[in-house]
Chain A
Amino acid sequence: QLQLQESGPGLVRPSETLSLTCTVSGGSISSSTYFWGWIRQPPGKGLEWIGTVYYSGSTYYNPSLKSRVTISVDTSKNQFSLKLSSVTAADTAVYYCARVPSGFFDYWGQGTLVTVSS
């Protein structure tokens, strides 16, 4: 059974960089069939797609976040990562990682709350 698990600091200072890692178990991140993505959800609000990465390193980002986002993949560790720079309180959210077969998100991590505060 495929499982995804997000990890990283739960508190980030304003103007700093948010860094999260998603560890994939029960399947290979190097599969040519899948992309891997990040989605976030501010408290009490809706879902927002952040970006998607392929095992080769190709990336696709939400235009509204593109200037601050970097998503990368480490096939040796079966992990992919998210970096969001210059964070503000508006970036406070539950961050999810997910598998992306083609046009949808089928397996999700449990999510991790990241709070931006001094």
Chain B
Amino acid sequence: QSALTQPASVSGSPGQSITISCTGTSSDVGNYDYVSWYQQHPGKAPKLMIYDVSNRPSGVSNRFSGSKAGNTASLTISGLQAEDEADYYCSSYTSSITYVFGTGTKVTVL
């Protein structure tokens, strides 16, 4: 199985909105609403930010939102803050009863 495709980096100024894409295939992102997003700060474990395409776990800011269209899922961070600077990974359940992660995106707050 191939990793989902994400842009290597995305940047924005404080207060702006940014969107990270996550492109898969009809065997994963396109066929299941089991897309999730994770935030990872250096040296830390990943943190769940979005699950089932667009649901936020308790405690996650509503500045984070998720969506999906066809084989591509997206994570939008609105009102960008310095603390949002981190690596972000998407993940999808697949038709092989397995999981696949994205290639990862480094978000920089200018």
Point out residues on A near B: beta carbons under 8 Å: 37, 39, 46-49, 52, 60-64, 96, 101-106, 108-111
Contact = CB atoms under 8 A, between A and B. Distances in A.
A46 B97 CA distance: 21
A111 B33 CA distance: 27
Contacts of A105: 36, 38, 46, 48, 91
Contact of A103 (B45, B47, B51, B101): B51
A106 B52 contact: no
Contact of A104 (B36, B98, B103, B104): B36
Interface residues of B, number: 26
Query: Which of A46, A47, A48, A96 has the most chain B CB atoms inside 10 A of its CB?
Result: A47
Interface of B: 1, 3, 32-34, 36, 38, 45-48, 51-52, 57, 89, 91, 93, 96-104
Contacts of B93: 103
A64 B52 CA distance: 25
